[in-house]
Amino acid sequence: MTVKHTLLALLNHTPTHGYELRGLMEATLGDHWVINTGQIYSTLSRLERDGLVVRQPASVDEAAERTVYDLTQDGRAELERWYREPLPRTYRLRDAFHAKLMLSFFSGPVPPAGVLQIQRGELLSEMHELTRLRAEADPASELPWLLLLERAIMHLEADLRWLDVCEARLDELRRMPPPRHVSRPRGRPPKRGQPDETS
Amino acid sequence: MSELAETMIVTEGLTKAYTDGTEVRALDGVDLSVERGEFVAVMGPSGSGKSTLLNLIGTLDEPTAGGVMVDRVDVSTLQGNALADFRRAKIGFIFQLFNLVPILSAVENVMLPLIPYRRQCKFDLEARARELLDGVGLAERANHLPSQLSGGEQQRVAIARALVNEPAIVLADEPTGNVDTRAGDEVMELLRRVCDEGGRTVVVVTHSPRVAAFADRVYFLKDGAIVDQSRLGGARSLEAIWARLAIG
């Protein structure tokens, strides 16, 4: 999560102070975004140091926490750069369940079909709770939260469909030869011309 | 109250075989039970026997072996009119293809199951049908023909129709199979309310995890047999969700 760009985006909408930024953040993204005020102030001072935001000279309140910030030209440019750049996906593909399933093919005590079924029940159970939370969310006032839940549901749907695909290929997987250790050189070959550390 | 009194549907060794040279078992010794007021999904890939199971529970088909008890009545003891009366009193059906009559309006479609019995009804059938349409958010569309409604709306009319006889049990076969995701969620949310607020027992068969997730319990069907069942939800699942949603 990028607090930096969230603050830039909010300040681009309205120049304001740290305390209000926290409230605006919750209003925009949903109140499940737990962020402490300290993190907002430290991010604001970093942004100020980097010339992306500037204190407004005529702050109404002299108290530090009432300092009103605004974007600079550089801040606006950075915000636009962020919007225009696609974000890398953080969803991890290689996971512990994939490893467990592959291991179950040659090493009991639970057969692969059982391993799949246990996981399916667990994911469906989570999906049930997410479905309930989504039904409870108010579509008018909690749309950001509702869409986040929807995203979680769709991820689970994809995971469950992947389990179906694995199940459909159980017979093929069972015919895989059992693993055998093959010795092969690992890692990077040593660079030539480097001094030998052991000598 | 005994456990038996709380059980709404029980199948024992339920089997349906078709003989076409060789015997094919669409359903092979299924034992399941559904409690009163429970929302159960039966999940399985196509060809696993889901629809066969639902049709047997709904008394639309007869088993080759085994039996079905619905509200403590062994349905195999019922024949002809007695079976039709029992079905009309206890069960509401929802199908994947809506099965609305195209030349009848929404409200007429809702009234349809009871029109032959209208004179025996101790209530105003049309008023009830309109009330049910209001309950599924279609009060304004009562006089529309099915062709003037979207897929999701047609399925909501079908839900209202399934409820017109105030059945204790609602059976739904892939109820979202022919509507888009959003409309499908609305259909399932309605069925959830039919269970939670109407106190009715709901059984949905589906291949879709998104649909099954609405249920309290899921039976997994494969090659005509129950391979597992799972109670859904609970504190552990909720914790897993909060962990997944943790953002900072």
Which residue, B208, B158, B152, is CA-closest to B180?
Answer: B152
Alpha helix locations (H) across chain B?
A: 3-6, 50-57, 80-90, 106-111, 125-135, 151-163, 181-196, 209-212, 235-245
**In the predicted structure, residue B1 carries a pLDDT above the cut 50:** no
Name the 3-class secondary structure at A22: helix
Count of all residues that appear for chain B in the document: 248
Other CB atoms closer than 10 Å to residue A38's CB: what's the count? 9
**In the predicted structure, residue A62 carries a pLDDT above the cut 90:** no
Average pLDDT of chain A to the nearest whole number: 84
CB contact under 8 A, B227 and A135: no
Query: What does the block give as tokens for A70?
Result: 């605004």
A130-182 pLDDT, tens digit per residue, is 999 999 998 888 888 899 899 999 999 999 999 999 998 988 888 887 778 87
How much is the pLDDT for A8? Answer: 92
Residues of A within 8 A of B245 (CB-CB) are 32, 148, 152
CB contact under 8 A, A34 and B248: yes
How much is the pLDDT for B130? Answer: 95
Query: In chain A, which residues touch B (CB < 8 A)?
Result: 1, 32-35, 117, 120-133, 135, 148, 152-153, 156-157, 160-161, 164
B106-163 pLDDT, tens digit per residue, is 999 999 998 888 888 888 999 999 999 999 999 999 999 999 999 999 999 999 999 9
CB contact under 8 A, A122 and B189: no
Query: What does the block give as tokens for B54?
Result: 């639902």
CB contact under 8 A, B247 and A125: no
Q: DSSP labels for A68-98?
A: EEEE-HHHHHHHHHHHHSPPPP---SS-HHH
Owner of token pair 């998104």: B210
Query: What does the block give as tokens for B214?
Result: 């609405």
% chain A with pLDDT above 70:
88
**In the predicted structure, residue A196 carries a pLDDT above the cut 70:** no
CB contact under 8 A, B237 and A122: yes
pTM of the full predicted structure? 0.85
What fold does the segment set B3-245 form as a domain?
Rossmann fold (3.40.50)
Q: Which residues contact A86 (CB under 8 A, 6 or more apart)?
A: none
This complex has an ipTM of 0.89
Query: What is the 3-state composition of chain B as percent helix, strand, coil, each rounded to the nearest 5?
Result: 40, 30, 30
